[in-house]
Structure 1
Amino acid sequence: MAGEPQRCAWVGADPLYQAYHDNEWGVPVRDSRLLWEALMLEGFQAGLAWIVILRKREGFRAAFAGFDPDKVARFTEADVARLLADPGIVRARAKIEATIRGARLFCEMRDRGEDFATYCWSFTGGEVVRGDGVSLPATTPLSEAISRDLKGRGFKFVGPTIVYAWLQAVGIVDDHMAGCFRRQQAAGKPLPRFGSGR
């Protein structure tokens, strides 16, 4: 039987983390709503481990109307109170309010004719930035520039570290490590054979 593939060292043995790494992390996302959802979830992760958010992701989706920006933008103080009582999410008022504000900003951008996906990818000219396969920086000049711009637009919980984690997650930056089977896949190299697939 073929062994497990070589993954980025941060993944560890948690099956949920492995599935996230293998199927989502670093895959280029070009859908505006999904990019916005990912940015909001990264904001909730501030001060926590990503696995906490990953385990609660379906709870977040249920609580935030499937991360439909139009619906979240209409949330009221009663919704904030409901969310603060929801054990399925991270119950932090500032992060909840930042997500509602983020939905309103997303809708304002769209209503002005500014597509969120086009905006996000504009910082790299629509191209994936490929890391060196060795280092995993906490921030980069790219994340600092995007963070400044997002903050200037009124978004919260979008510091350079959060933004860089988001860039990695949504595949604007490919930071899979050298030797990781996902990096080989992105480079078009043959993948190692392992398991029977899921």
Structure 2
Amino acid sequence: MASAFGHALLGATLGKLLLPSRSHWPYWLLAAACAVLPDADVVGFKFGVAYASLWGHRGLTHSVLAAVVLASVLVFLVRIFRPANQPAAGRLWLLLFLATVSHGVLDAMTTGGLGVAFLSPWEQQRYFFSFRPIQVSPIGVKRFAGAAAWRVLRSEAVWVGIPCLLLWLSQRILRPTQAQRQP
């Protein structure tokens, strides 16, 4: 898996790109959380859930279906609680879906694991992309330390951080600020 840092950075970047107004910063954080959430399946290891099972790591929680369900539930909850300055439902749904599904995309670009069950529960096949430059992160806080952490973070700085920075800079350059739009 990619680290929680890489997942959260990509989720927050998607938030900034799709909902660029600074007033939408809480949704950037929600997108970051959605991008990290699929790894909640690692709790299954404590209960003896096999890695390769439907409920195992990179299984159902990493699927496109899980992203659809999570985005739909969260948009529904946002609408119920009606926070101030909420974005359009469709745009928010797209953001939360993309942030959640981005988790599996990054994991499919890592150098380890069993692959990602994108089509779970209908298909248990696990997939990797042919381009796998991201160093796999050890599972667990204790294992993510020292040389292993630096190896993963260096890899993610190049393959996640730099692209996120370039996207953010492109948005700043290409999208005029409010002050520039007013005559």
TM-score bucket (shorter structure)? 0.3 to 0.5
Greater helix content: 2
Which structure has more relative contact order (CA 8 Å, sep 6+)? It is 1
**Given the two structures, how large is their TM-score scaled by the length of structure 2?**
0.37
